[in-house]
């Protein structure tokens, strides 16, 4: 639906014709990731009409990234997903310019294998193994989906191994895998660098401090910057990653607005009142707990983040006596005039989560009101629905 001048006084979502959703799901790319911090918006507006030498701008970004992460250097990528591809390519080519130009199909003379624990092959739109292949690499999965032993990683490393990848995400297997220090020790004993996918992580220093050679973060999740990625680590690998802009990286280039916006978001992160934000989020969860208390078939508990981010969520378990399945309640919340989007990826197991980290003023109260309204009203059609995996809607896009 095109924007027309006679609707110019309407809010942007109404002008565009998209639903005015409330994000109680967290830092989800499918929902637009995060609320951008004012400092990033201001910086992006200022640079938008100006010209700048991009290599110099990335040098400034490198200094900021290094200061906040403890890395030797860094650069801004189009996204964390793009940063993974560029980092794999960097481990394969180093700074050899002709090799960079030949990727991804011509890998003659290069190490191409990338070792990863089987349970770390996370999907985030695409999957880690596809990201490796996009760079021209060959994924080597060590262990099984639920267990990985040191020897399985050790014996997966060959003379053709370019790197190891370690994924930190709520969607990886949370048991039976090697810790990052264990994985690093095995790889470094064979002179294999380790790349950490830490896209949705809060701690900007931990993974490099634990021995990773490259750590990759999303700029548009907890940092509250524009769509972008932070790639930080060893200077030679960072240089090689940045040089991929002369090859496969050109198709995932990042604009001046995103670089400047991310610099501003990183600087705002340094002075953010993290304790104050945590206290506010705790108060929101307490309000939601009260709204859900006493409803038949609804059980709640405060759930710490599974990857040790300093974030709590409210886990909601839905029993049949509530008159809903978890999926039915999630779907009902997402419908209507005030759609509330929750973290429902485990609805088939009878639970979902409410995340307080991406709410505008007044929205936490609206979430509580919606929960109360739904749970005290006659059950709608679809209340007892169960998840059905289907790509039918996707394959109809853009209709």
Percent of the chain whose predicted confidence (pLDDT) is above 70: 98
- Supply φ then ψ for residue 136, to 5 degrees: 100, 5
Rounded mean pLDDT of 109-127?
A: 91
Give me the pLDDT at residue 126, please: 83
Which is more confident, 174 or 92?
92
pLDDT at 185 over 90: yes
Give me the pLDDT at residue 52, please: 96
pLDDT at 332 over 80: yes
Give me the pLDDT at residue 113, please: 98
> Are 76 and 258 in contact, with CB atoms under 8 Å apart?
yes
Q: At what angle do helices 363-375 and 326-333 cross, to 10 degrees?
A: 130
Among candidate residues 136, 54, 120, the one with its CA nearest the CA of residue 87: 136
pLDDT at 251 over 60: yes
Percent of the chain whose predicted confidence (pLDDT) is above 90: 77
Give me the pLDDT at residue 278, please: 93
Rounded mean pLDDT of 302-321?
A: 90
In angstroms, the CA 108 to CA 102 distance is: 9
In angstroms, the CA 216 to CA 338 distance is: 35
- Supply φ then ψ for residue 12, to 5 degrees: -60, -40
Rounded mean pLDDT of 32-46?
A: 94
- For residue 135, the surrounding DSSP H or E stretch is none
Rounded mean pLDDT of 351-365?
A: 94
Give me the pLDDT at residue 159, please: 97
57, HSE (Cβ side, Cα atoms, 13 Å): 19
Give me the pLDDT at residue 14, please: 78
Three-state DSSP at 107 gives: coil
Three-state DSSP at 263 gives: helix
CATH number of 38-271: 3.40.640.10
The answer to whether the bond into 104 is cis (omega within 30° of 0) is: yes
pLDDT at 8 over 80: no
Which is more confident, 124 or 8?
124
For 5-32+273-375, which CATH class? alpha beta
Q: What is the mean pLDDT of the chain?
A: 92
Give me the pLDDT at residue 58, please: 97
pLDDT at 1 over 50: no
Give me the pLDDT at residue 389, please: 79
Rounded mean pLDDT of 50-56?
A: 96
Give me the pLDDT at residue 7, please: 60
Cβ within 8 Å of residue 117, ≥6 positions away: 141, 142, 143, 148, 153, 166, 177, 178, 183
State the pTM of this model: 0.91
What tens digit of pLDDT does each residue of 207-245 get?
999 999 999 999 999 899 999 999 999 999 999 999 999
pLDDT at 71 over 70: yes
State the Rg of the chain over Cα: 23
pLDDT at 5 over 70: no
Among candidate residues 284, 275, 213, the one with its CA nearest the CA of residue 22: 284
pLDDT class for 6, splitting at 50, 70, 90? Answer: low
pLDDT at 297 over 70: yes
Give me the pLDDT at residue 32, please: 83
Give me the pLDDT at residue 123, please: 83
Q: What angle do CA 180, 109, 248 make, to 5 degrees?
A: 70
| Domain boundary assignment for the chain | 5-32+273-375, 38-271
């Amino acid at each position: 639906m095109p924007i027309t001048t006679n609707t110019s006084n309407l809010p942007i979502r109404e002008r565009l014709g998209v639903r005015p959703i409330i994000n109680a799901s967290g830092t989800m790319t499918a929902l637009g990731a995060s609320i951008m911090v004012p400092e990033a918006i201001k910086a992006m507006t200022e640079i938008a009409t100006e010209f700048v030498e991009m290599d110099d701008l990335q040098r400034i970004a490198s200094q900021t990234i290094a200061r906040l992460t403890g890395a030797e250097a860094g650069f801004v990528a189009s996204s964390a997903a793009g940063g993974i591809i560029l980092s794999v390519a960097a481990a394969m080519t180093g700074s050899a310019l002709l090799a960079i130009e030949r990727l991804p199909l011509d890998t003659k003379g290069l190490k191409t294998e990338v070792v990863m624990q089987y349970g770390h092959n996370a999907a985030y739109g695409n999957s880690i193994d596809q990201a490796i292949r996009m760079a021209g690499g060959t994924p080597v999965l060590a262990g099984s989906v639920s267990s990985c032993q040191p020897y399985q990683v050790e014996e997966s490393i060959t003379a053709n191994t370019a790197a190891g990848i370690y994924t930190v995400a709520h969607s990886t297997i949370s048991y039976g895998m090697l810790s990052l220090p264990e994985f690093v020790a095995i790889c470094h004993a064979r002179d294999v660098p380790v790349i950490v996918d830490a896209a949705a992580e809060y701690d900007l220093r931990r993974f490099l401090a634990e021995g990773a050679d490259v750590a990759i973060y999303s700029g548009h999740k907890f940092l509250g910057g524009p769509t972008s990625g932070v790639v930080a680590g060893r200077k030679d690998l960072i240089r090689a990653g940045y040089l991929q802009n002369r090859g496969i990286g050109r198709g995932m280039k990042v604009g001046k607005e995103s670089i400047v916006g991310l610099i501003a978001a990183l600087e705002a992160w340094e002075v953010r009142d993290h304790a104050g934000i945590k206290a506010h989020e705790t108060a929101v969860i307490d309000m939601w707990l009260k709204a859900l208390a006493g409803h038949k078939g609804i059980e709640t508990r405060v759930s710490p983040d599974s990857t040790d981010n300093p974030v709590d969520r409210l886990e909601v378990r839905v029993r049949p006596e509530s008159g809903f399945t978890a999926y039915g309640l999630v779907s009902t919340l997402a419908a209507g005039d005030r759609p509330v989007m929750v973290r429902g990826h485990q609805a088939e197991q009878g639970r979902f989560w409410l995340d307080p980290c991406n709410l505008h003023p007044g929205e936490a109260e609206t979430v509580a009101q919606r929960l109360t309204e739904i749970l005290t009203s006659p059950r709608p059609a679809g209340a007892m629905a169960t998840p059905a995996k289907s790509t039918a809607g996707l394959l109809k896009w853009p209709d």
